[in-house]
């Protein structure tokens, strides 16, 4: 059940916050924008599992919790497992009629960072999606292990410097490309898979509502700009996300039932990836003459991916 009509922002703003302040995420962190939006876009009771990561360590600083719903912290790899276990028990107890309120609408959500989604919890997520539990997995993709000091993850894009893939005289940072998690999850046959960004709040809220309403495992990758590790001023979180979506580094699209691809946002003016890269400290070294070819490579990859998405949208296969 949708909480409030999300026709416009004024109506959306009448929803009641269920993610409280005084968590210890960095000022300007996009994680909390995304989590707040998920919890504001529905009135349903939520059962949330969170992997170890920035979100978990910052929102459950003993003796405080920032969550106004049922929430569990579990190991680095287990958010999908915990959510699917809770969902299985809920279904069984509902069938037996042993719940306190058998008519209540309950939704199961798992949050993970990109480290726990792309690397450490990948097998568990894959298993939960294959078993077909009715839950929504949301990856807060900030492209590195930000909680432990910015190590590379398989979501770190090519050319970014991280503490374990540092740029210097012999290296331009990470040499490998980012894993295409959305395609992998779509290949599982998940009924709803999407990539969303907090700067496009409307498509994000609609995507969240769609995922919560869809029966079966849904996967959403959200772009979460990390001011600490991407090295930009905290006030620019939304600006950087704008650059990311307008340069098509992070195209916003959904895939329904593993094949029906819809592009949810087409920038009026597509900007060059150079503008996006230049705004962040982690790509500073790419603007040296010897590493210019990496920027060209990134631009080529982005163009190719956008071409592919457009063709897939047309082909409807």
Partner 1 sequence: MQHLKLLANDNRGLNELENGTGLMGWHEVTQGSILPSFEGDATHIAHLKSEERSYSNFNSYTATVASWRVLKPVYNRDICIDCQNCWVWCPDSSILSRDKQMLGIDYDHCKGCSVCVEVCPTNPKSLIMFSEQTPLEDALGQWPEKKKKEDK
Residues that bind partner 1 (CB under 8 A): 3, 9-14, 16-25, 27-33, 36-37, 42-45, 59-69, 101, 104, 198, 201, 234-239
Q: At 25, list the tokens.
A: 């995420």
The answer to whether the CB of 225 falls within 8 A of the CB of 240 is: yes
Residue 290 DSSP one-character state: G
End-to-end alpha-carbon separation of the chain, Å?
Answer: 30
The residue among 69 and 310 lying less far from partner 1, judged by its C-beta, is: 69
Closest CB 28 distance from partner 1, rounded Å: 4
Backbone Cα Rg of the chain: 19
Q: Could you give phi then psi for residue 20, rounded to 5 degrees?
A: -85, 160
Q: At 236, list the tokens.
A: 């620019």
Give the Å distances, CA to CA, from 235 to 227, 228, 277, 278. Answer: 9, 12, 17, 16
The residue among 67 and 111 lying less far from partner 1, judged by its C-beta, is: 67
Closest CB 229 distance from partner 1, rounded Å: 16
The residue among 70 and 297 lying less far from partner 1, judged by its C-beta, is: 70
The residue among 181 and 227 lying less far from partner 1, judged by its C-beta, is: 227
The answer to whether the CB of 221 falls within 8 A of the CB of 141 is: yes
Closest CB 21 distance from partner 1, rounded Å: 3
The residue among 68 and 257 lying less far from partner 1, judged by its C-beta, is: 68
Residue 115 DSSP one-character state: I
Closest CB 14 distance from partner 1, rounded Å: 6
Pairing mode, strands 253-256 and 260-263: antiparallel
Closest CB 173 distance from partner 1, rounded Å: 27
Closest CB 223 distance from partner 1, rounded Å: 14
Closest CB 16 distance from partner 1, rounded Å: 5
Please tell me the total number of residues recorded for the chain in this structure. 317
Query: What does the alpha-carbon distance between residue 266 and residue 115 come to, in Å, rounded to a whole number?
Result: 28
The residue among 28 and 112 lying less far from partner 1, judged by its C-beta, is: 28
User: How large is the greatest C-alpha to C-alpha distance in the chain, in angstroms?
Assistant: 68
The residue among 161 and 222 lying less far from partner 1, judged by its C-beta, is: 222
């Amino acid at each position: 059940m949708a909480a409030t009509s999300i026709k416009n922002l004024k109506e959306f703003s009448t929803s009641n916050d269920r993610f409280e302040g005084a968590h210890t995420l960095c000022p300007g962190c996009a994680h909390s924008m995304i989590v707040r939006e998920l919890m504001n876009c529905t009135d349903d009771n939520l059962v949330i599992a969170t992997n170890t990561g920035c979100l978990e360590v910052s929102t459950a600083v003993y003796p405080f919790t920032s969550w106004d719903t049922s929430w569990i912290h579990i190991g680095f790899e287990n958010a999908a497992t915990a959510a699917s276990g809770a969902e299985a028990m809920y279904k069984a107890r509902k069938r037996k009629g042993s719940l306190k309120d058998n008519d209540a609408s309950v939704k199961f959500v798992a949050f993970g960072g990109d480290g726990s989604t792309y690397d450490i919890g990948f097998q568990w997520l894959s298993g939960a999606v294959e078993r077909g539990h009715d839950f929504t997995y949301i990856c807060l993709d900030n492209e590195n292990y930000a909680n432990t000091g910015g190590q590379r993850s398989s979501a770190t894009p090519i050319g970014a410097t991280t503490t374990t893939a540092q740029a210097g005289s012999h290296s331009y940072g990470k040499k490998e490309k980012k894993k295409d998690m959305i395609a992998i999850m779509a290949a599982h046959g998940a009924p709803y898979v999407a990539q969303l960004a907090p700067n496009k709040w409307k498509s994000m809220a609609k995507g969240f509502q769609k995922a919560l309403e869809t029966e079966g495992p849904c996967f959403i990758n959200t772009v979460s700009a990390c001011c600490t590790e991407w090295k930009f001023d905290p006030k620019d979180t939304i600006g950087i996300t704008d650059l990311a979506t307008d340069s098509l580094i992070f195209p916003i699209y959904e895939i329904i039932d593993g094949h029906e691809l819809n592009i949810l946002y087409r920038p009026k003016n597509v900007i060059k990836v150079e503008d996006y890269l230049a705004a962040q400290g982690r790509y500073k070294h790419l603007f040296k003459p010897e590493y210019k070819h990496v920027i060209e490579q990134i631009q080529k990859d982005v163009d190719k991916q956008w071409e592919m998405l457009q063709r897939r949208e047309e082909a409807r296969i």
